[in-house]
Structure 1
Amino acid sequence: MPGPVFLEGETVSLRPVEREDIEFLHRVMNDRRVWRPALDIDPMNAEQGEEFFETVITNGDGVHCLACDGEEPLGVVTLAFSQYGPDETSRARSAELAYWFAPEHHGRGYGSDAAARMVRYAFEDRNLRRLSARLGSFNDASRGLLESLGFEREGRLREAAWYRGEYHDMLVYGLLRKDWDASESE
């Protein structure tokens, strides 16, 4: 059973990821429809699921929420601070947005709602100034989601991703609070 509601979206609730959710994480992160586009090619056994929970979810270097429809877990949405280091994060007031959803929930708007709620939380509650996101150039769904939230493409890392037997570019997207504020008032 998912933990208490932390943030409420239009169609999803965001809840802290609990130890009881490891089985869901383990199942979905081993689904090729999730790990391939996420470019995370290693399988995860039960012990690694526990380790992921202990070292990533509970390490304090980000905000990790389980997106749920009622009591049903759908996916995970995250604000990651570790790439900047604790001092850089506080000075630059920035984080990276990341998300993944179980394939049976793709295309239903859950990811958009969860990401939009996390963006609002980042800017309004955490007082962040900037968000970024990275994705493979082949991931049209993620690109559409980010652009619908006002993210702009800021860069391209040429042939930086290996996906389904070919090299692909990695795209870097960003959203400034001042641009988000403008879009929210429209």
Structure 2
Amino acid sequence: MPKPFSPAFPIRTARLILRPFTHDDLEELHVIRSLPEVARYVPWEPGDLEKTAKALEARIGQTTLTEENQPLTVAVEVAETGELIGDAMLFWVSEQHRCGEVGYVFHPAHHGRGYATETVMALLELGFDGLGLRRIIGRLDTRNEASARVLERVGMRREAHLVENELFKGEWTDEFVYAILRREWECR
């Protein structure tokens, strides 16, 4: 596995630019992270500008993977307008098992346009072709039907339904685990 791994930014897809976060992203990121519907299925709550600034500062430094248990985070913007619409990550879960995980959040005004699918496709390519992973997973709250559809669209299969496995925001919740292997990715 290449170490350290840092993609050649920006990453361009058909309609998007995936790039490192900068301090200039604070206002737009805050708009996204302050919405209750964005935070519904993620392990953080909507917060004030100071909380967003702390989250942004962490993301600014997450552009290179040097060891397992690290995320590589990207700002997702619409190429045509330059508008920041999402926040995505490729997490390096295990070097030994060559496993990663994808995650993402998008502003609700941009749901239903295929942007999350396009972003996850780019993250899978980074994981398999760039980092040399063998398996990439996605985990989500079972109530998050839109996110499940995204993972299914990119070719991931549902491998597990974990029942009341996590105390999440004060309630016991179920979780789906999706996965795709490199050989499945290459055959798509």
TM-score of Structure 1 vs Structure 2, range by shorter chain: 0.7 to 0.9
- Determine what percentage of the aligned residue pairs are the same residue: 29
AA of the residue aligned to 1:153: R
Letter in 1 for 2:52: G
Q: Who is 2:75 aligned against?
A: 66
Please give the alpha-carbon distance, in whole angstroms, between the structure 2 residues aligned to 1:43 and 1:33. Answer: 9
TM-score normalised by the chain length of structure 2: 0.82
The root-mean-square deviation of aligned C-alpha atoms, in Å, is: 2.3
1:44 CA displacement: 1.7
Residue in 2 that maps onto 1:78: 89
| 8 Å CA contact 1:39, 1:162 repeated in 2 | no
Aligned partner letter, 1:158? V
| Cα contact 1:9–1:113 (8 A) shared by 2 | yes
Quick check: 2:32–2:38 contact (8 Å CA) kept in 1? yes
| Structure 2, gaps ≥5 residues long | 1-7, 65-69
User: Which of 7, 10, 19 is the equivalent residue of 1:6?
Assistant: 10
| 1:52 equivalent in alignment to 2:61 | no
Give the alignment's TM-score, normalised by structure 1.
0.83
- Alignment coverage as a number of residue pairs: 173
User: Residue 36 of structure 1 aligns with which residue?
Assistant: 40
SS at match of 1:91: coil
Secondary structure of the equivalent of 2:38? Answer: helix
Residue of structure 2 aligned with 1:138, choices 140, 143, 149: 143
Normalized per residue, the structure richer in helix is 1
User: 1:101-153, CA deviations, whole angstroms, 9 ceiling, x for partnerless residues?
Assistant: 00110001111111111111211122111111111111111111101111111
| Deviation digits for residues 152-181 of structure 1 (CA, Å, limit 9, x no counterpart) | 112122124578996441111111111111
Cα distance, 1:67 vs structure 2: 1.1
Letter matched to residue 23 of structure 2: R
Matched-pair contact (CA < 8 Å) for 1:36–1:163: no
Query: Given the alignment of the two structures, is residue 119 of structure 1 paired with residue 128 of structure 2, yes or no?
Result: no
8 Å CA contact 1:136–1:161 kept in 2: the answer is: no
| Corresponding residue SS for 1:92 | coil
The 1:161–1:57 alpha-carbon spacing in structure 2 relative to 1, beyond 3 Å, is farther
CA distance in 2, matches of 1:17, 1:94: 24
Question: Which stretches of structure 1, 4 residues or more, deviate above 6 A after TM superposition?
Answer: 162-166
Unaligned residue ranges in structure 1 (runs of 5+): none
